[in-house]
Amino acid sequence: MAKKNVPKPHARPSKSAAMPTKKQTISDKWMPWVPLVLGVLVFSTGLTNELLGIDDHTATVDNPAVRDFKLFSSFNLGMYAPLTWAVYGVAYTLGKDNPFWYHLFSLAVHAFNIWLVFRLLTRLSMGAKTSLAVTLLFAIHPVQVESVAWIAGFSTPLFSMFFLLSCLKYLDYAERPAEAKPYYLSLLLFVAACLSKSAAVTLPLVLVVLDLWRKPAMPRARQMLGYLPFFLIALIFGLLTIYSRTQSAIATETPGSELTLLERLQVLCYTPVFYWFNTLAPFELNIYYSFDKVNGHLPWPYLIAPFVVIVSFIAAWRYREKASWLWFGLLFFFANVSVMLPFVSHGTFEFIADHYNYLAMIGTSLILVKGWQALRERWPSLSGGLRWIGLAWLGLIVILCLRQISVWKDTNTVVSNAIENGYYQNGLMYAARAKHFGNKGKIKEAIRDFDKSLEINPNLYESYKFRGGLYGMMKQYEKSVADLSKYLEHYPNDAEQYYNRGLSLLNLGRLNDAVADFSRTLELNPNFARAYRARGNAYKSLGEAAKAESDLTEWERRNSTGGN
């Protein structure tokens, strides 16, 4: 039985480890560069990927915080992430809507994170080979593609950078409690992580897990007291996130709100099992995963998921001395995904997303690597075969990562991939692909997908807006008016759509209705110069020469000064 309150020595170095040979020193130097270089080479294939029609424009070129560099005064996409917007702002300054700069910054941060992960694992005395293998999986696993290749997902690598730096500084403090500077640096880096993305609030839990593994030589009371500022910061940013989502009108959809208590438990347990499976067999990764019932019930994987989670914890606890890596890996995984698990439905919060697994997969990868090593030690006669199986699986991971990066090439490929795998996101995937087709001038394909999105979900009012605009371009004015009217019933303050409907009404000869829409446009936005010209032409057709002349004169005046 282990003695209480006595720090357990952790991976006591051997004589050879204390006095490294020249060969060992060289090995230590190049080892972290292997995953780093491979990660850069693999993800550099995505530098030419486009800005996607799913959040990329909203997060960057259409984000006032990015365009005007007003970082701390607003929310975007339900987030408060001024440091993320600051990096976007630099990319915007360098290339406006050129996706290359956004991808380059994402790749650079991911590369630095690879180095940080290796540093963290070696600081935790995981061993050079284990640290190398786990870092390699972190660097090039297909699950990481969503975080690195999706421009709107950049907040995940960025917060993770500050997160990992904070962990390393905390370890400095835990090893030398008399030095206060590392502790305060860790706190400062934690705040920076939260200002990059609120998902960083899991860091205090991760610090607890690190301490359970390292068992720092400091009084328990001081250790507990050291956690308090971290948990307080986490609480503040957690509340800020709830507020920002509410202020940004994100809380409009509540996926899963129809689940019973038992079904909620099944979904809650299915989520980590799903992540584990995708780490082992990442064949069908998507931008969106839905929880779809079959004949009114959740499929069988959901039913067995609670038992899988329970058995995993029992095994980890039972073998916590012989296989401490299993217990640590499991705790590290759950500490990182804890706030992203679907305990409740809140706004458009996704139950499952690959980017939730960016840091958490360090724990899963550690279990995979150490488990593979344990099997080779347990059955030496099979060691050679297991080695080749591991190498073949790693080669497959590289291939799948390259394939997944190509999936994120543009909106069409990433959305079509989800649709082909049966994930429609309640019609939103079809709507996103339709917008992409519309921007490419593929009108018929766009209308077809908007039709499909509304067939699945008649309440996707933005589909009415965009389809109505396309009908107007096709000179199908009756359909245009019908769609835009449906949209304006729910969004009565959209000046541009009153203008668009007014144009269709004008072409239908419904002049008074057209005048009413142009007037509503100008009521909502007096600087909408085109509406003066359109209303002036409508007045001219109605024979109201004075009003026509007044509007057309106003249009010319505003147009000469660069009005809308």
Q: What is the pLDDT of residues 89-114, one digit of tens each?
A: 999 999 999 999 999 999 999 999 99
Q: Among candidates 31, 335, 314, 323, which has minimal Cα distance to 204?
A: 335
Model confidence at 256, pLDDT cuts 50, 70, 90, reads low
| The pLDDT of residue 27 | 59
Residue 15 included in any domain? no
| The pLDDT of residue 8 | 41
> Is the pTM here over 0.95, yes or no?
no
| The pLDDT of residue 257 | 58
DSSP bridge partners of 76:
79
d(CA 516, CA 514): 5
The verdict on 285 and 364 lying in the same domain is: yes
d(CA 153, CA 107): 12
**Average pLDDT of the residues in 166-194:** 94
Side-chain-side CA neighbours of 265 within 13 Å: the count stands at 9
The verdict on 518 and 448 lying in the same domain is: yes
| The pLDDT of residue 247 | 61
Residue 412 included in any domain? no
How does pLDDT run across 11-35, given as a tens digit for each residue?
A: 433 333 334 445 445 556 788 899 9
The verdict on 227 and 332 lying in the same domain is: yes
The whole-chain average pLDDT of the chain stands at: 88
Residue 22 included in any domain? no
CA-based torsion, 193, 197, 202, 204: positive or negative: positive
Residue 23 included in any domain? no
How does pLDDT run across 372-389, given as a tens digit for each residue?
A: 999 999 999 999 999 999
Q: What is the CATH number of the domain that holds 430?
A: 1.25.40.10
Structure tokens at 433: 């692909």
**Total structural domains in the chain?**
2
Model confidence at 178, pLDDT cuts 50, 70, 90, reads confident
Residue 10 has pLDDT above 70, yes or no: no
For tokens 């208590």, the residue is 261
The verdict on 394 and 507 lying in the same domain is: no
The verdict on 313 and 240 lying in the same domain is: yes
| The pLDDT of residue 6 | 37
Q: What is the extent of the structural domain holding 314?
A: 29-407
Residues 6+ apart with CB under 8 A from 528: 495, 496, 499, 521, 522, 564
First vs last C-alpha separation in the chain: 78
Structure tokens at 153: 């997902």
